[in-house]
Amino acid sequence: MSGYCDLAPGHPVHGHYHDHEYGFPQRDEAELFERLLLEINQAGLSWEIILRKREGFRAAYHGFDVDAVAAYGQDDVARLLADPGIIRNRLKIAAAIHNARVIAGLRDSHGGFAAWLDAHHPLDKPGWVKLFKRTFRFTGGEITGEFLMSLGYLPGAHRPDCPVQTHIAALAPPWMRGPAPVPGHGKP
């Protein structure tokens, strides 16, 4: 998305996201869930529409609280379908609820969403896409790729000459590091 580095800096909608979020490593469960939910909702739409509706999503989905969304029932689905502050798509809403339940389950199996991502790093994009399709709903190649780029698990969020890339490199995102060490196989 190197063209984003031309469009976004100084833009009233894209600027902050480009300069402070896109490509930066993230560990917080609510932040990870937010990014996944926003990427899913962007499918077929522009990223600018999603950024403009971001606060609406935050309010509608209880601040991206995984447990709150995982507990949603039919009344919540009806509420979301009637909310003009978000993308009102039944499949995307169902995916958000399903994916929140999956993420809650990752706490037991892996210690959380971030730990699950770390456990599968480094995969190439096709490997990630296959894993996401098997694990989550509404996560095709573009959604999965953008989600992982936005969090530093895949390269490509910024051009090498983008000033933001220097800040991201200082944080050593996962794509810049090798695979996680296998317990008991590292240096003493």
Does residue 34 carry a catalytic annotation? Answer: no
Half-sphere exposure of 114 toward its Cβ, with a 13 Å CA cutoff?
12
Asked if 131 and 120 count as a contact pair (C-beta separation under 8 A), the reply is yes
Annotated catalytic residue within 4, 17, 72, 175: 17
Asked if 39 and 146 count as a contact pair (C-beta separation under 8 A), the reply is yes
With the C-alpha atoms ordered 44, 41, 102, 119, is the resulting torsion angle positive or negative?
A: positive
Report the distance separating Cα 9 and Cα 83, nearest Å. Answer: 31
Does residue 61 carry a catalytic annotation? Answer: no
Annotated catalytic residue within 29, 34, 39, 146: 39
Long-range contacts of 138-145 (CB under 8 A, 24+ apart): 138/40, 138/43, 138/91, 138/92, 138/95, 138/99, 139/36, 139/40, 139/95, 140/43, 142/43, 143/39, 143/40, 143/42, 143/43
Annotated catalytic residue within 22, 47, 116, 128: 47
Does residue 17 carry a catalytic annotation? Answer: yes
**Residues taking part in catalysis:** 17, 39, 47
